[in-house]
């Protein structure tokens, strides 16, 4: 049998299985299946016990599975759970976990029916956030891919900034970014690019549209690339032509808040503690009510994943856990400023991975 791609990820998962008195687990979420097995596929299940690694998928992916998921026992399925009773019997398992945050009510019903209509006995045990907790800490291969995704996103942003012009539509600007991402051989953008000019910049999640890029007001560009599954996420606020004093003042507050947070985040802090570093500075400047989102979020195979770096988060920051630092101030009828980088703490030292230049106002 060939060697599996990610032995440490399986060891971590098996530790969870045994600590939680399970005998096996069904992994159904698409990114989680990829994370443990290495196979990218839109459908299928992993069934992982202390002794075996089964990968169930349909005719579209069985051939690909042999090359992308070496070391897994690959089974071709023709029905959703027809394969389950036999494998349970063979594996002699009695407590099997499933991903309750990703499994629908109908899917669980089908799972239970399949078991009840067979001659096997097994308890299906709901689990939550197992893979998502493991995935918060990235291994070396993941950090390399993430750095590459960020590099592509940075370059595409800088190319966009060079080519943006007053009077273009927001959509046209977003398309410049996307083309650059794709021409660097990334698989796609990692989320719908946000380009918000003028008053639109007051909406943190503005839907990029036909509005024209304006001079002398803030333009928020929030953008990311996806490379080999890993997502980047970058925000810059720029101004075409002159920035007035109000823009400069608000930009400086957000920028100071961001630099302070980057400087002071430490291993062992909660997401809430990290968030409060930036929030305190913005509040003391009088804009506390206008920073209406979290300071940041983890990033990896999903754009938003653990750790949550927001006001109520008890998630503890550890080494090798990349996350965004993106404070903002948004004033309705005026515009907004947000500045976002991805940071990671390695060996207790904070690195800023994002390199896209920031403006000098």
Print the binding letters for residues 206-225 with a second copy: x by CB under 8 A, - otherwise.
-x------------------
Q: How far is the CB of 76 from a second copy (least distance, A)?
A: 12
- Selected range binding a second copy among 45-53, 94-102, 227-235, 252-260, rule: CB under 8 A: 94-102
Q: Residue 246's CB: how many other CB atoms inside 10 A?
A: 12
Q: How far is the CB of 249 from a second copy (least distance, A)?
A: 25
Q: How far is the CB of 296 from a second copy (least distance, A)?
A: 17
Q: Of 302, 282, 303, whose CA–CA distance to 293 is shortest?
A: 282
Q: Is 302 in the site for a second copy (CB under 8 A)?
A: no
Q: Is 203 in the site for a second copy (CB under 8 A)?
A: yes
- 3, 11, 162, 205: residue in contact with a second copy (rule CB under 8 A): 205
φ, ψ (nearest 5 deg) of residue 39:
-90, 130
Q: Is 165 in the site for a second copy (CB under 8 A)?
A: no
Q: Which residues, 6 or more positions from 96, have their beta carbon under 8 angstroms from its beta carbon?
A: 22, 23, 24, 25, 26, 88, 122, 123, 124, 125
Distances (CA, A) of 64 to 32, 145, 266, 319: 17, 21, 42, 34
Print the binding letters for residues 170-189 with a second copy: x by CB under 8 A, - otherwise.
-----x--xx--x-------
- Selected range binding a second copy among 103-111, 133-141, 145-153, 342-350, rule: CB under 8 A: 103-111
Q: How far is the CB of 352 from a second copy (least distance, A)?
A: 27
Q: Residue 26 or residue 243: which is nearer to a second copy going by CB?
A: 26
Distances (CA, A) of 172 to 163, 194, 301, 318: 10, 11, 27, 39
Strand, coil or helix: 241: coil
Q: How many of the chain's residues bind a second copy (CB under 8 A)?
A: 26
Q: Residue 80 or residue 89: which is nearer to a second copy going by CB?
A: 80
- Kindly identify the residues of this chain, within the stretch 120-139, that bind a second copy according to CB under 8 A: 126, 128
- Kindly identify the residues of this chain, within the stretch 244-283, that bind a second copy according to CB under 8 A: none
Q: How far apart are the C-alpha atoms of 361 and 353, rounded to whole Å? A: 23
- Kindly identify the residues of this chain, within the stretch 9-68, that bind a second copy according to CB under 8 A: 40, 59-61, 63-64
Strands of the sheet with 194-197, listed across from one edge? 194-197, 218-223, 234-239
Q: Is 78 in the site for a second copy (CB under 8 A)?
A: no
Q: Which residues, 6 or more positions from 287, have their beta carbon under 8 angstroms from its beta carbon?
A: 250, 253, 329
Q: Residue 63's CB: how many other CB atoms inside 10 A?
A: 11
Q: What is the DSSP letter of 356?
A: P
Q: How far is the CB of 101 from a second copy (least distance, A)?
A: 5
Strands of the sheet with 188-189, listed across from one edge? 188-189, 225-227, 230-231
Q: Is 336 in the site for a second copy (CB under 8 A)?
A: no
- Residues near a second copy (CB under 8 A): 40, 59-61, 63-64, 100-106, 108-109, 126, 128, 175, 178-179, 182, 203-205, 207, 292
């Amino acid at each position: 049998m060939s060697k599996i791609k990610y032995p440490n990820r399986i060891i971590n998962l098996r530790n969870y299985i045994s600590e939680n008195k399970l005998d096996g687990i069904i992994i159904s979420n698409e990114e989680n299946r990829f994370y443990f097995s290495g196979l990218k596929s839109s459908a299928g299940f992993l069934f992982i016990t202390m002794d075996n690694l089964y990968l169930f998928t349909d005719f579209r992916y069985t051939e690909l599975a042999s090359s992308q998921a070496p070391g897994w026992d690959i089974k071709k399925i023709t029905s959703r759970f027809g394969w389950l009773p036999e494998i349970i019997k063979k594996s002699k398992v009695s407590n099997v976990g499933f991903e309750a945050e990703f499994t629908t009510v109908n899917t669980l019903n089908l799972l239970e029916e399949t078991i009840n209509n067979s001659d096997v006995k097994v308890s299906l045990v709901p689990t939550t956030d197992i893979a998502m907790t493991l995935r918060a800490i990235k291994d070396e291969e993941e950090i390399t891919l993430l750095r590459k995704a960020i590099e592509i996103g940075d370059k595409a942003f800088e190319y966009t900034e060079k080519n943006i012009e007053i009077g273009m539509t927001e959509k046209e600007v977003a398309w410049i970014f996307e083309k650059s991402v794709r021409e660097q051989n990334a698989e796609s953008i990692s989320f719908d690019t946000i380009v918000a000019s003028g008053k639109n910049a007051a909406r943190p999640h503005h839907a990029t549209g036909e509005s024209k890029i304006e001079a002398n007001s803030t333009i928020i560009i929030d953008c990311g690339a996806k490379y080999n599954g890993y997502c980047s996420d970058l925000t810059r606020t720029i101004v075409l032509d002159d920035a007035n004093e109000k823009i400069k003042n608000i930009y400086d507050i957000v920028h100071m808040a961001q630099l302070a947070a980057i400087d002071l985040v430490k291993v062992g802090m909660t997401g809430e503690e990290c968030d409060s570093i930036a929030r305190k500075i913005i509040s003391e400047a009088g804009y506390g009510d206008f920073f209406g989102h979290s300071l940041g979020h983890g990033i990896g195979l999903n754009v938003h994943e653990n750790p949550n770096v927001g006001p109520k988060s008890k998630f503890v920051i550890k080494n090798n856990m990349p996350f965004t630092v993106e404070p903002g101030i948004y004033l309705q009828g005026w515009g907004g400023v947000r500045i976002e980088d991805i940071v990671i703490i390695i060996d207790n030292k904070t690195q800023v991975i994002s390199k896209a230049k920031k403006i000098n106002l």
